[in-house]
Structure 1
Amino acid sequence: MKKVSAAMSREDVLVTTDWAEENLNTPGIVFAEVDEDTTAYDGGHIPGAVKIDWKAELQDPVRRDFVDCEGFEKLMSEKGIGNDDLVILYGGNNNWFAAYAYWYFKLYGHNAVKLLDGGRKKWELDGRPLSTDPVNRERTDYKAKEQDHSLRAFRDEVVEAINQKNLVDVRSPDEFTGKLLAPAHLPQEGALRGGHIPSAINVPWSKTANEDGTFKSDEELEQLYKDAGLDTSKPTIAYCRIGERSSHTWFALRELLGLQDVKNYDGSWSEYGSLVGVPVETGEQKR
């Protein structure tokens, strides 16, 4: 398996709940919570953690796109995050939106970022403290880099990747086959057609996590993707519905397993499933 770096280890991209509690007040370390449920933070959060609202703060208010470089700089500055700070991201539901934010940070060149392994779930299972105190950090003058497109796939590249690269559909089997357009607990909207991109393999993102929300071992992850038919000699593009679940898979493949060429297609099915003139398959994965 081709690695990004021979020296890469989990400690480079993950922290444990023990480490996190020991470093809550360490200068230069900022904890940030990012949840699908944007109200979860208000009911109790890791002491000192700032809140990042993925809907209101990470999305462009006019275009269907991310905040641009200037917008990311403004957000980081308002949150009191400096260029040299180590940011520890966490959230609920196996860190799915925290992984989304992690990908944003990497996209804009902030490499000093890690996930709290297990996220909010593991923190609460451990019986660790939560706080409802408001957190206001001193404003910084953050400077972001331009987007690193080696981490981001766009629709034309995705179409060209059919039968050429690994396309990993990380949605549920019902979404993959076309039975559903979105996760079962959400409104069935966001795309005109159900199904999947031809030649894609289906590896639901949640299969990478243990019951306590932590990531499975490297050996378990390697076996998971091997069994699904991932060819590690080829570049890989992960996708879901809006790009948050595929960020979690991107993290597992690139940051944990060390695959060199892995991109997240954030347009995902909400874009691809509404395009005119592109192929769509339904039914189970072809072997």
Structure 2
Amino acid sequence: MKRGVKQRARKHHFLPQALQRPFCGECGQLWYSERNNDGLFSVPELRNTSSTFKLRDFYTILENGKLSDIVERQFYGTLDNFLAQFLNEVHDTLDKGMTPVVSGDALSSLRRVVYHLITRTPDFIKNQYDDVAIGREIAEATLSEAIKHGISDTDISDLRAILGDASGLRNMGRSVRVKAQSSPSKRVEETLEDFVVRFAIINGKHSFVLASQTAYRIGNGGHNGLSNPEMEIWLPISPKRALVLVRDKNGKIPLIVDEPRDHVRQVNEFAIRNAEQVASHSQTLLHSLLNLS
């Protein structure tokens, strides 16, 4: 590598390390498990946050024909920096026995960050996007248009060669997918304006786990789409704390709510049912939730 040229980042965390660190045990590591090809979770093992909840080149795009990490560095990196500072302030406030009040620009920014925590994960897109399939669809459409407009045989041959290049198709399709993930619709942004922040706090021995789905859309008896007025977004921010986005027009829900043991279990079980990776500060807790002996 040439001196002064920054190497492209290829290890992309879809669950920010700032969110992972509060879940580390005394050793500074996480008990981590992921599903295998049979859909079963592996036996939890101790891992550093640098090696968990990440994928290689997950947000890499094509920019001027070259692979670029600009979305990872400048878009998600900015969101993650905000989240890290926000969480530090929240934990510091709660540690002092005070109540965090999230409003104004901070609330607007947080809503946006939570939305992207949901949509940036492989759990969110696994049934919606296939990078190679998207790339092939684009290449086939381009080839069809090229033939229709009578371009040269050489150019047509080059386009047909792209269809046989799985890596090239993946790069092309991934660019489309990443740009879609990072661009919320105006309607989504307007709907999120209805949500306010509350905090669920655990005072007993039970704890939240951390899952690859990151922020959980819980329908409370209905569907988990934003249009459901009962839907809540739960974001565990430590084993004993969760940030919750809810609709509360009349201000009836306290800013801090004591979280009962049974509901913590329900939230954890919901997370594990819908996640591909899960982690905790407690090996015992993971074994219990994953039904491992």
Report the TM-score range of the alignment, normalised by the length of the smaller protein: under 0.3
Q: Which is greater in Rg?
A: 2
Instruction: Give the TM-score, by structure 2 length.
Output: 0.23
User: Which structure has more helix as a fraction of its residues?
Assistant: 2
User: Which structure has more strand as a fraction of its residues?
Assistant: 2
